[in-house]
């Protein structure tokens, strides 16, 4: 008869169970338990909790050391901005965009936030007379420049800008969300080119999205405003 090997013992960890603990370790544990046999369950739990609190508090204490209010070379936060021909003092974070400053610090909510990544044109403003997307312009970079928003186009006597009036006459605004950006883009175009062709106006307004699809109405408004500006200059 062939000799059979005894079946292999299989434990929870698989066919190769872990070796028995070292007898010296068992002895040390036994001595510790014997020395603390008077500890109650409540006392043991209190000790565990206290040690956990002490360990978790180390990072907090390490971070609680006094720090300077501003790092050396950091950007000044309280700055002056020239907005709509007025000097405005405002607290600005180093990474804050002009759109956020205008809307939430200065209350100029005519500047809209759409895509927030320089694609839709709803946040268009004029900086030194030229169109810029304020959602991708850092406020700290325009401290010494003239900023114009849609709120600044109205005359001191309350008359609308020719572009604003032309857009109304041509029924350009539909939902109205993109209208401030469309107005600022048109004003920037007429600042640079007071007598554009329709194709030139189309290219200049291409950076402003109208989700209502009223592009022809806006183009008609631009051309009407250009005519009004031209007639005003002739008078």
- Percent of the chain whose predicted confidence (pLDDT) is above 90: 65
pLDDT for 198 equals 97
What is the per-residue pLDDT across 178-208, written as a single tens digit (0 to 9) for each? Answer: 999 999 999 999 999 999 999 999 999 999 9
By CB atoms closer than 10 A (0-12, 13-18, 19+), residue 146 is middle
Domain ranges of the chain: 78-152, 162-234
Question: Which two tokens mark 188?
Answer: 């920037």
Instruction: Give me the mean pLDDT over the 1-29 stretch.
Output: 57
User: 64-88: buried (b, 16+ CB within 10 Å) or exposed (e) per residue?
Assistant: eeeeeeeeeeeeeeebebbbbeeeb
- CATH superfamily, region 162-234: [2Fe-2S]-binding domain (1.10.150.120)
Instruction: Give me the mean pLDDT over the 87-94 stretch.
Output: 97
- Percent of the chain whose predicted confidence (pLDDT) is above 70: 69
What is the per-residue pLDDT across 148-158, written as a single tens digit (0 to 9) for each? Answer: 999 999 999 99
CB pairs under 8 A, 24+ apart, for 104-107?
106/81
Query: Residue 133: in which H helix or E strand, if any?
Result: strand 130-133
**pLDDT range class, residue 69, cuts 50, 70, 90:** very low
- CATH superfamily, region 78-152: Beta-grasp domain (3.10.20.30)
pLDDT for 68 equals 45
């Amino acid at each position: 008869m062939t000799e059979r090997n005894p079946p292999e013992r299989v434990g929870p960890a698989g066919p190769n169970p872990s070796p028995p603990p070292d007898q010296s370790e068992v002895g040390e544990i036994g001595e510790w338990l014997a020395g603390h046999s008077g500890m109650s369950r409540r006392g043991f739990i209190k000790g565990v909790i206290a040690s956990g609190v002490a360990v978790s508090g180390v990072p907090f204490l390490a971070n609680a050391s006094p720090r300077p209010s501003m790092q050396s070379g950091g950007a000044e936060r309280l700055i002056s901005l020239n907005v709509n021909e007025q000097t405005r003092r405002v607290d600005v974070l180093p990474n804050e965009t002009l759109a956020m400053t205008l809307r939430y610090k200065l209350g100029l909510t005519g500047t809209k936030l759409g895509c927030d990544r320089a694609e839709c044109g709803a946040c268009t403003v004029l900086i030194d007379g030229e169109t810029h997307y304020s959602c991708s312009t850092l406020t700290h970079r325009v401290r010494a420049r003239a900023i114009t928003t849609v709120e600044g186009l109205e005359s001191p006597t309350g008359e609308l800008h020719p572009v604003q009036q032309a857009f109304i006459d041509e029924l350009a605004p539909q939902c109205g969300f993109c209208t401030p950006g469309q107005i600022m883009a048109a004003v920037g175009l007429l600042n640079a080119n007071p007598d554009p062709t329709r194709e030139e106006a189309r290219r200049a307004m291409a950076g402003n999205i109208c989700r209502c699809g009223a592009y022809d109405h806006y183009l008609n408004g631009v051309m009407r405003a250009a005519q009004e500006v031209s007639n005003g200059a002739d008078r």
